[in-house]
Structure 1
Amino acid sequence: MIYNKKMIFCKYSLKKLNTFNINVNANKVIKVKNLIELCELWKKYKQKNRPCLILGEGSNILFLKNFYGLVIVNRIKGIYISESKKYWHLHINSGENWHKLVKFTIKNKIYGLENLALIPGCVGSAPIQNIGAYGSSIQDFCEYVDIINPINKNIKRINKKNCNFKYRDSIFKHNYKNYIIISIGLFLSKKWVPNLNYNDLKKLKHNIHITPKKIFNYICHIRKKKIPYHKIYGNAGSFFKNPIVSPNLGKKLLKIFSNMPFSLENNFFKLSAGWLINKCKFKGYIRKGVMVHSKQCLILLNRFNTSSGRDILNLAIKIYNSVGKKFGIWLEPEVKIIDNYGEIDPCIFFKKNTKF
């Protein structure tokens, strides 16, 4: 359908609903606290053939333009605990804040999520990206994901084995486009074993009095040093994924760059995107108010909170092309790119702007 732009009034600000602090508007913004209301709103707008977008906290979103439809802000909350002999079982509704969930588990002596502290966003977006940090990811604890078709209210439970979890990827990125994640199930062992294999955590192995709360506090400290608070400098955390390349390319690059950081995953090389960007001399680079963070080159900052989504995207494309030319590696963005009508496939968008 072709929309008459003159008839679409975008008067509801989204600036406080996206962590890039992009100053765009939507036709309508409504916060929902229950599933029935969410389904009714979605169905109403879809019957009018208007676009709808579900937002948690907007921590992985880049708005390019005003949104010509309804933005539903998910605030459907609830945490429910049960237990078996070996595990705690948590059923969490999708509108819960992820970091608050981690704090809740530690307060209630349910351990395991501490490595995932201070990851922004809501629970509903966690399985889509298969969020992860410091050697852990949600796939380590996921039991199931519940989704709903808001038109016919059909609910499906997707068990972990069918979620197709991979590095920053899952089945929810590719299938179930007409469904919305409404809750997730996690299982956490009652026998806690600290996960200290990540490089930044290895020095904690020598602490014989290590506790989940100490790991939680340490990771919060690290993340606060690395990632600027988004209300001061708009950002979405890591803009690009760390690339995983073939053994041949990995070995070839290692011969040229002997100090290149990497890890091996089934003989494939997982490289540091931040290191690649830094090698292209982007650290601290500023263009139209968008800055490559000097402490972590994977983070793009809306330095004065006045840049547009297009300004941020243009710098990301410049980085994408520079890394591609220098290393033969084409970075994949983590953030969702949203235009007037909804999400644009970021991979296709970047490939269209490739400069050889």
Structure 2
Amino acid sequence: MRDVLSSITELLDAGLDALLCQVVETKGSTPQKAGALMLVNPDGGQVGTLGGGCVENEVKQKAIRRLGQPGAEKHSFVLDHDYAWADGLICGGKMVILTEAFRGPEASSYFRAYRDLIDAGLGLIEAVAVDPDRCGAPGLGSRWLFGPEGRLVSSLPGGSPPPGVLELIEPVHRRPRLASRNGVAILPVLPRIRLLIVGAGHVGQAVSRLASEADFDVWVVDDRSRYANAERFPEARRIVVGPIEEVLPALEVTPHTFALVVTRGHGHDQEALYHLAPTPAAYVGLIGSRRKIRLIFDGLRGLGVAERHLARVTAPIGVPIGSQSVPEIAVSVVAQLIARRNLGPEAVPTNDFSRPVDAPDEPGSQAEADPAGAVGS
């Protein structure tokens, strides 16, 4: 999305038309969900995707025909048509896509504000009129851009949104869902997540690479500069080298932070978890076998870490796919991170190693082996 928005503003600032295609509604199974953007060049090139195949090609042709014409046009596609057969899009879903040729400084200002909100990473909501008669908008494709707290940032064309639109807007921290109501498509972008990887070994490196492609802002922490460096982590936004007990307390950890502990040893893992478990990080994950995790948790109890903090640690980490190799482990872990980001805390279990304060352990109550597919060390 950032690439699309940057390209739009470049074209508009140069005085050229920007042909934008946007998915505003979907039902059922579709290759892209509402909010997906594609910028089309008059020569047929593009930035972004609506899912590929015949639908995308047809939308590109329709968009090119919008050159020099004012306003937006709405197109509906049911993905069981004959034209979709060759591309394997027989999934029965429906996509509604708006195409429009934007031009001029007003459009440039709007999409620059959109890009700035995306770059800030705090979340936003775009409301788009898909039925102007129902919502009272000045026309099809009218747009309103709201910041993370629900405050209007920009509109296209300019002006305040109708009251019915304002009633649909809520702060991003409430995790608003994609929706189409009362003639308005509500298209939230949730806050971008900073992924703090503690440990620059093979697993940390593989997770960093894959998580960056999944739009996490990756930070890497390790006490060894020969491992934690830009050559091994070219995609990382920040690399911090130093003793864990000094580095972690100095880093800002917010509710938009995920923390992953994948160091080279039990002692380093315990030190990292000692500093991270009590933070407001939305996800704290620990790699390792169940025996290792039990030992670390008991050690942290001895250091005074509260049970409520241990209870929120995800351990062992990863989606159960039977992963064995480092690339498989990375897929397993990043899949879990995506689920936590996109679906919320209920989508990811934590652990069964926490217990009520002062409750005795029951002999034999914990298995020594990992559950199938969970990531050990």
Give the TM-score of the pair, scaled to structure 1: 0.30
Give the TM-score of the pair, scaled to structure 2: 0.28
Query: Which is higher, the Rg of structure 1 or of structure 2?
Result: 2
Q: Higher relative contact order by CA 8 Å / sep ≥ 6: 1 or 2?
A: 1
